[in-house]
């Protein structure tokens, strides 16, 4: 049996590391009966196209990142809001892998013919730009490339920027041709997509984690023979610690690669500077709730109260 697993990222990425490890574990668990064929970014299409392939049942597994997926499932747009998660990634791990969060989202995925298998973090989002961005004012008229879901653009509009949604594959040339002034992604992606080569600054505001979700077609998942579903579920459950460790390792190592290459100034915002962005971002939560409705409100409340509770312990 061969399952096809499509990635929104190229070989050597966090999603690729996840898929490779998943493949080995699934093969071991099933004594070689289940095999995975991994399709890195570029072989099957953009993120939105991968989601369509899952909805049609044309492939078995894929990553679907909220930055794109919120166009189809507005509720997942929560993970693109700024300053919602904790500064402490151990807390985020607990929140994101909780049944509470998954139970709210699952029916929303099912409405779109998908099954949410797990939520995967890939590291802090970092801004790259042709100038330093230290205050919301610095974003004035700044052409910021974002992923394609509309809620995401609101976060940058709130800073006064001119958000420009586009697929991942067009970002490098967009920067090179100066159609955009900057973009935002985790460090490993900035390195492997060579964005740092065409940008002068990297700005760390720790405003959000890059979150992705692993999905299948819901009918396919329901109809899986019991044994196969157990192999799949067990493999997924065993991957949580692995991917948290791996993404941290990838991001750390590649920051060093970028620093060693020279030519990129790395700026870490102070607490006061972050606070100004946090304040400016708060109104976007209302816009999110308008788009994601009651379930969105419930998800926002659940996540913020879990974070608050864990931070006070
Ligand atoms: O910026 C993007 O569009 C992409 N970034 C990452 C790190 N993964 C997938 C996503 O499509």
Residue 148 CA, closest ligand 1 atom number: 3
Domain extent at residue 122: 2-312
Most ligand 1 atoms within 8 A of CB, residue of 49, 189, 215 to mutate: 189
Query: Which tens digit of pLDDT belongs to each residue from 145-199?
Result: 999 999 999 999 999 999 999 999 999 999 999 999 999 999 999 999 999 999 9
Angle between the N-to-C axes of helices 14-29 and 226-238, in degrees from 0 to 180, rounded to the nearest 10 = 130
Residue 233: per-residue pLDDT: 98
* Cross-strand bridge partners of residue 39: 6
The separation between CA 241 and the C-alpha centre of its own chain, rounded to angstroms, equals 17
Residue 33: per-residue pLDDT: 97
Query: Which tens digit of pLDDT belongs to each residue from 198-236?
Result: 999 999 999 999 999 999 999 999 999 999 999 999 999
Separation of 247 CA from ligand 1 center, angstroms? 14
Distance CA 137, CA 22 (A): 44
Separation of 16 CA from ligand 1 center, angstroms? 12
Kindly report the average pLDDT of the chain as a whole number. Answer: 97
Query: Which tens digit of pLDDT belongs to each residue from 90-130?
Result: 999 999 999 999 999 999 999 999 999 999 999 999 999 99
- Asked whether 120 lines ligand 1 (CB < 6 A), one says no
* Confidence tier at 7 by pLDDT (50, 70, 90): very high
For the chain, what is the domain count? 1
DSSP element (H, E) containing 99 = helix 99-111
Query: Which tens digit of pLDDT belongs to each residue from 297-310?
Result: 999 999 999 999 99
Domain CATH number, residue 42: 3.40.190.170
Most ligand 1 atoms within 8 A of CB, residue of 6, 7, 9 to mutate: 9
- Asked whether 75 lines ligand 1 (CB < 6 A), one says no
Nearest to 70 by CA among 306, 296, 298: 296
Tokens at 147, concatenated: 């992923």
Exposure b/e, 135-171, CB count within 10 A at least 16 = b = ebebbeebbbbbbbbebbbbbbbbbebebbbbbbeeb
Q: Parallel, antiparallel, or unpaired for β 114-129 and 35-39?
A: unpaired
Separation of 271 CA from ligand 1 center, angstroms? 27
Query: Which tens digit of pLDDT belongs to each residue from 12-61?
Result: 999 999 999 999 999 999 999 999 999 999 999 999 999 999 999 999 99
Secondary structure letter of residue 14 according to DSSP: H
Residue 184 CA, closest ligand 1 atom number: 1
């Amino acid at each position: 049996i061969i399952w096809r697993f499509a990635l929104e990222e190229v070989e050597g990425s966090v999603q690729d590391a996840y898929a490779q490890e998943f493949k080995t574990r699934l093969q071991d668990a099933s004594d070689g009966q289940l095999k995975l064929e991994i399709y890195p970014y570029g072989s099957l299409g953009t993120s939105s196209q991968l989601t369509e392939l899952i909805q049609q049942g044309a492939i078995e597994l894929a990553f679907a990142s909220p930055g794109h997926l919120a166009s189809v499932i507005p509720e997942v747009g929560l993970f693109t809001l700024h300053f919602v998660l904790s500064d402490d990634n151990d807390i985020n791990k607990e929140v994101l892998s909780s049944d509470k969060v998954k139970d709210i989202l699952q029916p929303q995925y099912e409405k779109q013919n998908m099954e949410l298998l797990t939520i995967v973090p890939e590291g802090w989002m970092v801004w790259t730009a042709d100038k330093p961005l230290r205050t919301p004012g610095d974003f004035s008229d700044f052409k910021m490339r974002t992923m394609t879901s509309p809620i995401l653009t609101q976060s940058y509009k709130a800073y006064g920027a001119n958000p420009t949604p586009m697929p991942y594959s067009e970002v490098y040339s967009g920067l090179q041709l100066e159609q955009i002034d900057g973009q935002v992604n985790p460090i490993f992606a900035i390195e492997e997509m060579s964005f740092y080569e065409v940008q002068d600054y990297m700005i760390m505001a720790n405003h959000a984690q890059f979150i992705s979700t692993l999905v299948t077609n819901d009918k396919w998942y329901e109809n899986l023979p019991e044994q196969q579903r157990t192999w799949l579920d067990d493999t997924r459950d065993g991957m949580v610690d692995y991917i948290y460790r791996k993404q941290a390792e990838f991001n750390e190592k590649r920051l060093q690669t970028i620093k060693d290459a020279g030519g990129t100034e790395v700026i870490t915002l102070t607490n006061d500077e972050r606070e100004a962005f946090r304040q400016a971002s708060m109104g976007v939560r209302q816009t999110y709730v308008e788009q994601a409705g009651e379930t969105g409100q419930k998800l926002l409340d659940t996540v913020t109260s879990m974070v608050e509770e864990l931070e006070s312990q």
